[in-house]
Amino acid sequence: MVEEDKKFMIPELRKKSRWEYLAKREKDKIEDLEAEIADEEYLFSEQELTALEQQELEYKRKVRDLAKQYKQAGEQEKMEKHNRYYMPEESRSKKIPDRYEEPQAEDHMAPRDEQRRWEEDHIGAAALRFGARDANQRHPRKNYEYVLEDDEMIQFVNAVQMR
């Protein structure tokens, strides 16, 4: 039981850990980018930058602004989540069949055939059996016939018929 629990819990714990790590890393990267932009603006504010350096600085600013917008959109979605209805995840992923089709194997069966098969299976399982199932194959028995005299045979047959 413990092994099965571990098999199910470990992937979920990995996902949770990964999400926590990515949230922390996102925050760190945004802070690093803001610090880098502030350093470049402070250090090179008095100097004239080349076209390539200006493009790099503009690119960094654009990435920073997009990251902030993305973060604000996520926060706004969390706030709006209380006012909206979301379909549960379970029902989203279930595939709904287009139409119901009867199993083809049961088309030719009698109306009570399934009940009869169920009863036969359970009666067979409940029957008392002992010994090896392959005992006849391992130790075959010799089939002997009755050794009777002719007059005894007649008496035997007559006794059976009288009953």
Q: Does residue 116 or residue 82 have the better pLDDT? A: 116
**Contact (Cβ atoms closer than 8 angstroms) between residue 59 and residue 37:** no
pLDDT for residue 134: 78
pLDDT for residue 70: 92
Q: 139-149: per-residue pLDDT in tens?
A: 778 777 777 66
**Contact (Cβ atoms closer than 8 angstroms) between residue 67 and residue 36:** no
Q: Which of 57-61, 71-75, 111-115, 132-136 has the highest mean pLDDT?
A: 57-61
Mean pLDDT of 63-75: 92
Residue ranges of alpha helices (H) inside 44-112 are 51-80, 89-93
117: left (phi over 0), alpha (psi -120 to 50) or beta: alpha
Of all residues in the chain, the percent with pLDDT exceeding 90 is 28
Element (H, E) at 4: helix 2-43
pLDDT for residue 63: 94
What does DSSP assign to residue 47? S
Amino acid identity for residue 31 in this structure? E
Residue 163 has pLDDT above 90, yes or no: no
Q: 111-140: per-residue pLDDT in tens?
A: 778 888 899 888 888 887 777 777 777 777
pLDDT band at 156 (very low <50, low <70, confident <90, very high): low
pLDDT for residue 153: 60
